[in-house]
A and B are shown apart, each in its own frame.
Chain A
Amino acid sequence: MVDQLPNLGREDEMLAVMGMTSIDDLFTDIPEHVRRVEPLDLPPPQTEEEILREARMLLDMNISVDSRPSFLGAGLYSNYVPTMVPMLATRGEFLTAYTPYQPEVSQGMLQAMWEFQTMVSELVGLPVSNVSMYDASTAAAEALTCAVRVHDRKAAQKLTIYVSELVPPHRMSVIHNYTQGAEIVIKTLPHDADGMLDLTATAAAEGACAVYVEQPNALGLLDSGLCQLKSIIGENTALVVGVQPVSLGLVAPPGDYGADIVVGEGQPFGIGPTAGGPIYGLFACSQPYIRQMPGRIVGLSRDSEGERAFTLTLSTREQHIRRHRATSNICSNETLIALMGAMHMALLGPEGLETLARRNAGACAATKVAVLALDGVESVHPNGTHFNEFAIRLPRPSADLLSFLDEECDITGGLDLSQWWPERKNELLVCATDQIDAEDIEELAEGIQDWLEGYE
C-alpha cells in the first residue's frame, strides 16, 4: 500500500460527515459510458528504499560527462556547481512554492528573481531581464516573435527575419515551430570561409524585423564583425544575439555593441547539463521591447505601509489575463533553475566570473594546440578565435573517431558535425570547459593519434 496518503483509513469517517458510505459515491458524476472498466494495469506500489535501489541501478547504466574526459559541448556545458547551490535552492520554501501570485508571502523568491534579473542585466549589458525561458532555443524563438511584434508595423520587409546559417538545426527547428504560426519568413545569413558573418550580405536584412546571430557561434568562433551589425541593419531591425554566458567574463556584452535582445543558455550557471533539462533560457532586452517580452518579470514596489516589497509585474502581457492576445503562452518557466543560477553567479562575483571565463578559454586553447599538433588533423577555421569549442577536419569520418575514443579510450570526443550538417562528415566539434585538465587533453591527443595511425 502506498505510504503518501495521510487519510488512508479515515475515508469512512470523512465520507460519513458528508452523508456518504463509499468512495464510489464521489464518482457518480462520471457517466457510465466513459468509465474505465479495467483497473490500471500498473505494478504494485514500491517503497522509497526499493525505488532508490532501482534508480541507482538505472542511473549507474548511464555514462556521464563527469565520469571520463568529455569534449562534448554543442550547447550544453560540463561545469562545476558549488555544493552550496543545490543545497540552498532545494530548501522546501523555494522548492515547493508555486508562481508567486501572492507577493506578501513570496517576498523571498520574488527578491531572488529580481536579483537574478539584475545580474543577467549586468552580464549582457541590457536593462531588463525576465525570470527565465525554457531553454536557449525557446528564448531565441520568442525573442524573434517579440521583435516581429515590435517592428512589423513599420518594417519594409514584412514578417521577415534573418538568421545566421550557423544556428544549429535543432535550435532552428524550435525557431521554425514558434514562428510559423505568425507566418514569419526566415531568411539565412551566410558566413565566409573563416566562419565570420558575411557583413556585406547582412545589408539585405535592413528593413526586416530582426536578425539573429550567436556569439560565440555554434562552431565556437568569436566574431568581432558583429560589432558592426547594428549600424548596418539599422534602428528598426532588432539585433538578437545568442550567447554562452560564461564567455561574457571576457567577451563584451552584446548590449555594448547594439544588441536589442540577448538570449542564451543559462545552464553553465547553476546546474549540470542534466541530459538537457531542466535548464533555463536567458532573455534580456532594451526598453522598447519590455511590453512585448514573454515570461514573468519581477518589479520593485511598496506595501501599504510604504515598505519596500516585490511583486510580479506587467502581467497584462500574459496569457492568464490577455488569453489569445498574450505575448506568449508561457506560464510555468524554469524559476528554480534560474535561482540556482543566481546563487552560482552571486558566489562567483565579478572576478570569479572572469576567472571562470579564463579557465574555459584556457582549456579550449590548450586543447586546440594539442589536437592541431597531430599530423592529419586540421583546423576548420585556422584564422578563428575560439571560446569553449572549435571544429577540426579529419582524414576520415568523425563518427569513426568518436566510436574509437569511446570504446578504446573511455573518452567522449565531441560532436560529429554531420549530425547537424551532413556535408561535414569529416568534421568534429571539440569542446573544452573548465572541467578539462591537462591530463584529459593528453589522453585525447593520444587517442586521436592512435586512431590516425590505425588507418595508416
Chain B
Amino acid sequence: MSDLFAFNGAQGAGYAQPKPISEAFTIPVDLQRSKLPRWPRASEPEIVRHYTWLSTRSHGIDSGFYPLGSCTMKHNPRVNERIVQMPGMNDLHALAPASHLQGLMAIFHEMQEMLAHCAGMDTVTLQPVAGAQGEFTAMRCIQEYHREIGQSNRDKVIVPDSAHGTNPASAAMCGYDIIEIPSLENGRLDLDALRAVVGDDTAAMMVTNPSTLGIFEPEIAEASEIVHAAGGQMYYDGANFNAILGKTNPGLMGFDAVHYNLHKTFSQPHGGGGPGAGPIGVKEHLSDYLPAPLVVADEDEEGEIWFDWYSPPKSIGKVQQWHGNSGATVRAWAFYRRYGCDLEKMSEHAVLNANYLRHRIMNPSQEVLNQIHAMPIDGAPADVVKHEFTLSMTPVKDVTGVTGKDMAKRLLDYGYMAPTLYFPMIVPECLMFEPTETESKDAIDQFADDFLHILTEDPELVKTAPHDTPVKRVDEVWAARNLILRHPCDGE
C-alpha cells in the first residue's frame, strides 16, 4: 500500500528549480493565496516508486490479452511513442505561424487524404479529439447544413437500439430529439421500423457497421436509400472501422459523414481512458461546414509544396481550442505508414482472429463439453462475424447462477482483461469479444481453453471471483453511496 499523501518530507524535498529571474512582481492583496495546496512532499525516488507500484496494479494490452469488444485494444507500436516525444512535436505551439509547423502540417495533410480515401469521403478534419466529439461535430455540421438549405425543421435523429450510448448523447447535445428503433430478432437493422419513423423531420440516422454485435448489416445500402429519400443524412460511427479497411467503405454504403477512432483503428494508445482522437470525414455537400482550420497544400512557382490553414466558408467554428490531438494524429500517421496498403491485411487478420476465437469457444472438444455445466449462445446468429462478436451467458446463468459479470471477473484471475460486459443491451447477459489482429493464434487458443475451463469450474468459485487480483470484487454501490472523491489530506 503506497499512499501519495503520506509523503510529507522536508520542504523542497522534491524537484529543485532554478531561481526566479526577478522578484519584482506583485499579486493584488485580495488575491494572494493564503495557504498552499496540501500536495505531497516527496523526493523523486519516492515518487518513481509510488507510480511504479501503481503500474503493477494496472492491466494494459502489454500485460495480457485484452478482448474488450468495441474498443479495439490492439498492440501500440513503441516507435510511435518515440516519435511524439521528439523535439519538433511536443514543444510546438498551436498558434505559431504556419511557417513553423510545415512538418506537422505535412503529416496532417497526408492523414486527411488517407482517411478520406479509406472511408470514401471527400474532406476530413482532424480537430475532434474523441469519437464522441467526432459524432457531435458531424451532427453540428449536419445541423448547420439543414439550416442553410432551409430545413431547420429536421430535428429528429434515428439510432438503432444497439447503438453506442455516445450516439444518442452526442445528437441530444446538438438539440436533436432521439428516436430509437428496435433491431430485428436476429440483431440486424429493421428497415420496416426505419420506414415507420423517417419523414421530413428526419435530420439523420446514426449507424455502426459492422454493428455493435460484430455483424455486417446486409441491408445497409437500403437503409441509406430510405433515409436519403426522406431528405435525411447518414452518419457512420467508425468504432468498428477496423473490420472493413480495403473491403468496403462508408461512402459505398451511402453514408454522408463518418468519424474515425484513431485510438482504435490506428492504435493511438488508450492511456487508461484517453487521449483519443475522433477525426471526421464528410461528403462534399457537408465540407464547407467543417470546423476550422483544415490543412491545404499549395505549390509555389518553383514547384515546392507549401502547407497552409484553410477555414471552410460556412464552418461551425471550433470544437477544440487548437488543432485537435495532434500527438494522436502523428502516432496514427506512424501506424498507418507501418501498414500502408496492408491496412487491408490488418482488417483481414482482425476478422480472422475474431472468427477463430468464436469458433474455438463455441466448438469445444467432446471431452471438454462433457465437463461444461452449460454453454453460452450466440448473441446474434451469423455464419461469419467481423472483428468482434457477442455471446449471451443466459443459459449458463440459468443452469449455474453464474452471470456474465461473474464470468468477466473470473477471467481476470487468469490474467485477462474481461470482454465488454452487458453491451449491446439488446443481448441478455452479453459478453462482447474483440481479439484484434495483434493476438497470436497461440494466445487466442489459450484464452479459448481458459474460457471453456471456467465453464467447467465450481459455480461458487466463479461467482465469488476474482480471487487472484490486487483487490477482490469492488463494491460499486458503496462507492456511489459514500462519494469519497478525494483524499482528506489531513495528515499534516
Q: How large is the interface on A (under 10, 10 to 19, 20 to 34, 35 or more residues)?
A: 35 or more
The yes or no answer to A371 lying at the interface (CB within 8 A) is: no
**B31 pairs with A252, CB closer than 8 A:** yes
User: Which of A48, A107, A274 contacts B57 (CB under 8 A)?
Assistant: A107
In the complex, chain B residues whose CB is within 8 Å of the CB of A415: 95
Known: A36-B249, A48-B338. A273 touches B479 (CB 8 A): no
In the complex, chain A residues whose CB is within 8 Å of the CB of B218: 29, 31
In the complex, chain A residues whose CB is within 8 Å of the CB of B24: 362, 365-366, 369
**B248 pairs with A36, CB closer than 8 A:** yes
The yes or no answer to A136 lying at the interface (CB within 8 A) is: yes
The yes or no answer to A309 lying at the interface (CB within 8 A) is: yes
Scan B338-362; emit 1 where CB is below 8 A from any A CB, else 0.
1111111110110111011001100
Distance between Cα atoms of A182 and B172 in the complex (Å): 9
In the complex, chain A residues whose CB is within 8 Å of the CB of B48: 84, 88
The yes or no answer to A122 lying at the interface (CB within 8 A) is: yes
**B272 pairs with A183, CB closer than 8 A:** no
In the complex, chain B residues whose CB is within 8 Å of the CB of A7: 349, 352-353, 437, 440-441
Q: Which of A85-136 contact B (CB under 8 A)?
A: 86, 88-109, 111-115, 117-119, 121-123, 127-129, 131-132, 134-136
Most buried by A among B94, B100, B221, B486: B486
Scan B169-182; emit 1 where CB is below 8 A from any A CB, else 0.
11111111010000
The yes or no answer to A259 lying at the interface (CB within 8 A) is: no
**B55 pairs with A94, CB closer than 8 A:** yes
Known: A51-B79, A51-B337. A99 touches B33 (CB 8 A): no
**A352 pairs with B17, CB closer than 8 A:** yes
B199 to chain A, nearest CB (A): 19
**A137 pairs with B417, CB closer than 8 A:** no
**A98 pairs with B94, CB closer than 8 A:** no
Interface segment among B58-66, B189-197, B371-379, B391-399: the answer is: B58-66
The yes or no answer to A217 lying at the interface (CB within 8 A) is: no
Distance between Cα atoms of A279 and B321 in the complex (Å): 11
The yes or no answer to A21 lying at the interface (CB within 8 A) is: no
**A121 pairs with B275, CB closer than 8 A:** no
Instruction: Please give me the residue from chain A that is nearest to B37 by CB atom.
Output: A122
**A347 pairs with B15, CB closer than 8 A:** yes
Distance between Cα atoms of A145 and B13 in the complex (Å): 42
The yes or no answer to A374 lying at the interface (CB within 8 A) is: no
The yes or no answer to B149 lying at the interface (CB within 8 A) is: no
Q: Which of B72-90 contact A (CB under 8 A)?
A: 73, 75-77, 79, 81-90
In the complex, chain B residues whose CB is within 8 Å of the CB of A361: 20, 25, 27
Number of A-B contacts (CB under 8 A): 707
Interface segment among B132-140, B227-235, B296-304: the answer is: B132-140
Distance between Cα atoms of A224 and B32 in the complex (Å): 10
**B75 pairs with A4, CB closer than 8 A:** yes
Distance between Cα atoms of A171 and B216 in the complex (Å): 40
The yes or no answer to A44 lying at the interface (CB within 8 A) is: yes
**A84 pairs with B30, CB closer than 8 A:** no
User: Which of A136, A276, A313, A347 contacts B476 (CB under 8 A)?
Assistant: A313
The yes or no answer to B281 lying at the interface (CB within 8 A) is: no
In the complex, chain B residues whose CB is within 8 Å of the CB of A75: 321
Known: A59-B83, A96-B269. A42 touches B20 (CB 8 A): no
In the complex, chain A residues whose CB is within 8 Å of the CB of B56: 93, 108
Known: A33-B221, A346-B40, A366-B21. A250 touches B33 (CB 8 A): yes
Instruction: Please give me the residue from chain A that is nearest to B437 by CB atom.
Output: A5
B370 to chain A, nearest CB (A): 21
Distance between Cα atoms of A354 and B136 in the complex (Å): 39
Distance between Cα atoms of A89 and B349 in the complex (Å): 30
A371 to chain B, nearest CB (A): 13
Q: Which of B175-218 contact A (CB under 8 A)?
A: 175-176, 178, 215-216, 218
In the complex, chain B residues whose CB is within 8 Å of the CB of A34: 220-221, 248, 252-253
The yes or no answer to A193 lying at the interface (CB within 8 A) is: no
The yes or no answer to A249 lying at the interface (CB within 8 A) is: yes
In the complex, chain A residues whose CB is within 8 Å of the CB of B14: 346-349, 352
Scan B240-258; emit 1 where CB is below 8 A from any A CB, else 0.
0000111111001100000
The yes or no answer to A43 lying at the interface (CB within 8 A) is: yes
Known: A97-B59, A122-B39, A353-B36. A330 touches B130 (CB 8 A): yes
**B482 pairs with A299, CB closer than 8 A:** yes
In the complex, chain A residues whose CB is within 8 Å of the CB of B20: 355, 358-359, 361-363
Interface segment among A204-212, A229-237, A290-298, A448-456: the answer is: A290-298
Scan A264-303; emit 1 where CB is below 8 A from any B CB, else 0.
0000000111111111000000000010000011111111
Interface size on B, residues (CB 8 A): 203
The yes or no answer to B273 lying at the interface (CB within 8 A) is: yes
Instruction: Please give me the residue from chain B that is nearest to A325 by CB atom.
Output: B172
Distance between Cα atoms of A273 and B60 in the complex (Å): 27
B211 to chain A, nearest CB (A): 11
The yes or no answer to A337 lying at the interface (CB within 8 A) is: yes
The yes or no answer to A445 lying at the interface (CB within 8 A) is: no
In the complex, chain B residues whose CB is within 8 Å of the CB of A39: 246, 341, 344
**B349 pairs with A363, CB closer than 8 A:** no
In the complex, chain A residues whose CB is within 8 Å of the CB of B75: 4
**B87 pairs with A102, CB closer than 8 A:** no
Known: A15-B352, A298-B485, A324-B168. A412 touches B23 (CB 8 A): no
B149 to chain A, nearest CB (A): 18
**B102 pairs with A275, CB closer than 8 A:** no
In the complex, chain B residues whose CB is within 8 Å of the CB of A203: none
**B169 pairs with A329, CB closer than 8 A:** yes
Instruction: Please give me the residue from chain A that is nearest to B439 by CB atom.
Output: A6
User: Which of B79, B92, B168 contacts A273 (CB under 8 A)?
Assistant: B92
**A10 pairs with B441, CB closer than 8 A:** yes
A261 to chain B, nearest CB (A): 15
The yes or no answer to B454 lying at the interface (CB within 8 A) is: no
Known: A7-B349, A18-B355, A40-B344. A58 touches B103 (CB 8 A): yes
**B86 pairs with A55, CB closer than 8 A:** yes
Known: A67-B87, A100-B273, A277-B324. A92 touches B60 (CB 8 A): yes
Q: Which of B306-330 contact A (CB under 8 A)?
A: 316-328, 330
**B247 pairs with A278, CB closer than 8 A:** no
**B272 pairs with A104, CB closer than 8 A:** no
User: Which of A10, A272, A320 contacts B423 (CB under 8 A)?
Assistant: A320
In the complex, chain A residues whose CB is within 8 Å of the CB of B274: 132, 278, 332-337
**B441 pairs with A355, CB closer than 8 A:** no
In the complex, chain A residues whose CB is within 8 Å of the CB of B475: 301-304, 309, 311
User: Which of A107, A224, A299, A348 contacts B15 (CB under 8 A)?
Assistant: A348
The yes or no answer to A200 lying at the interface (CB within 8 A) is: no
Known: A104-B471, A251-B27, A299-B483. A330 touches B271 (CB 8 A): no
In the complex, chain B residues whose CB is within 8 Å of the CB of A366: 21-22, 24
Scan B98-142; emit 1 where CB is below 8 A from any A CB, else 0.
011111101100000010011000000000011111011000100
**A65 pairs with B320, CB closer than 8 A:** no
| 12 A-B pairs with C-beta separation under 8 A | A4-B438, A6-B438, A35-B252, A72-B95, A98-B73, A102-B418, A109-B272, A138-B320, A253-B37, A272-B92, A278-B275, A437-B21
Top 7 A-B pairs, shortest CB-CB distance:
A276-B322, A336-B271, A92-B62, A276-B94, A59-B88, A96-B60, A181-B175
Seed contacts A88-B51, A177-B136; 10 additional CB < 8 Å A-B pairs = A6-B438, A78-B91, A82-B44, A250-B27, A251-B33, A290-B485, A303-B474, A321-B165, A329-B166, A347-B42
